[in-house]
Amino acid sequence: MTSSRNAHVFLWAVPRSLSTAFTRSMESIDNVAIYYEPYGCADHYGPEGRLFSMDNSPAELEYTYDKVKASLEDKSLENKCVFVKDMGYAVHKRYDKIAKGYKHSFLIRHPIKSFLSYYNVMVSTGADDVDGDLSRWLPEGLGYQELWELYCYLENKNGKKPFVVNADDLLKNPKQVLQKYCEAVGFEYNDGLLSWDRKPSVEWNVAQSIWDIEPFYNWLSNSLTAGGFKKELSKPIPSIEELPKIVQEYVQISMPYYEKLNSCC
């Protein structure tokens, strides 16, 4: 069986793709250090980020791209198993800032489910301009285009296809999918990956700004406490005609990139 003694792995995702639940699952990997969206924090809250240009000042001065890269390449991690969950769009056009020495994997979800979930989060905040709030957080390519371009970059650079997980497959057959995932990235599978307690068993490396907005948006709450991957969470895909107009628009733009990534599963 493949050893997880010092495997270092990125999971690149799109928003609302069960990536937080996936991260909780990885707490069961022996000797693991977990990093939660360090590049995403640099993109949203750091001095070089997209949202910094919309706000008065960056909330996380230490989250520059160079410092994130350096922290993930630190020698103190050499004998650790490292799992980094991040958004593919966070490194768009900054591929030189991706930490070296890591295997790469991808998590996708059908755009209807992803964008509808995102839209519902915005509605739950009571935002006056739900469409505007949604577009503020998402990048120009809506996440799927950037994820596909990152996949192509890594495939060309490394000469092999990164492992891709579809969130619906994960919910329907979690053990089978996670066994294949672990084999692909160099982790040692154990059944503890299938479920987790309400309280995290491993302290995550995550910026304070991400925790600070959690009470308002509840990005993470369901995944943190869900307890595991359950088939009943895999619901049928709604008809696109039933969706809010902006969700329909985003789905239509993103579907070609989703289909390309899904063909790589």
Higher-pLDDT residue of 5, 251: 251
Q: Do the domain assignments include residue 3?
A: no
| DSSP-derived pairing of the beta strands 103-108 and 163-166 | parallel
For the chain, give the mean pLDDT.
89
Higher-pLDDT residue of 115, 198: 115
Three-state DSSP class for 10? strand
Percent of the chain residues topping a pLDDT of 70:
89
The answer to whether residue 43 scores a pLDDT higher than 90 is yes
The answer to whether residue 197 scores a pLDDT higher than 90 is no
State pLDDT tens for residues 104-122. Answer: 999 999 999 999 999 988 8
Domain extent for 95:
8-262
C-alpha torsion sign, points 195, 198, 199, 205: positive
Q: Do the domain assignments include residue 160?
A: yes
User: What pLDDT was estimated at residue 1?
Assistant: 34
Task: Average the pLDDT over 200-213 and give the result.
Answer: 85
Q: Comparing C-alpha atoms, which of 19, 259, 23, 251 is closest to residue 151?
A: 259
User: What pLDDT was estimated at residue 86?
Assistant: 98
Q: Do the domain assignments include residue 2?
A: no
Q: Do the domain assignments include residue 16?
A: yes
Q: Comparing C-alpha atoms, which of 10, 8, 47, 15 is closest to residue 167?
A: 15
Minimum mean pLDDT range among 17-31, 84-98, 169-183, 230-244: 230-244
Question: What's 134's domain CATH number?
Answer: 3.40.50.300
State pLDDT tens for residues 213-256. Answer: 766 666 665 655 567 887 666 778 999 999 999 999 999 999 99
User: What pLDDT was estimated at residue 58?
Assistant: 66
Q: Do the domain assignments include residue 34?
A: yes
User: What pLDDT was estimated at residue 135?
Assistant: 84
The answer to whether residue 3 scores a pLDDT higher than 60 is no
Q: Do the domain assignments include residue 218?
A: yes
User: What pLDDT was estimated at residue 235?
Assistant: 78
Rounded to the nearest 5 percent, the helix, strand and coil shares of the chain are 50, 10, 35
Question: In angstroms, rounded to a whole number, what is the distance separating the alpha carbons of residues 109 and 115?
Answer: 10
Q: Do the domain assignments include residue 142?
A: yes
Question: In angstroms, rounded to a whole number, what is the distance separating the alpha carbons of residues 94 and 115?
Answer: 25
Percent of the chain residues topping a pLDDT of 90:
69
Can you read off the two tokens belonging to residue 155? 């495939």
The answer to whether residue 149 scores a pLDDT higher than 50 is yes
Q: Do the domain assignments include residue 1?
A: no
Q: Comparing C-alpha atoms, which of 197, 196, 179, 177 is closest to residue 188?
A: 179
* Neighbour count for residue 176 (Cβ, 10 Å): 11
The answer to whether residue 54 scores a pLDDT higher than 60 is no
User: What pLDDT was estimated at residue 208?
Assistant: 87
Number of structural domains, the chain? 1
Of the ranges 174-188, 192-206, 231-245, which is most confident? Answer: 174-188
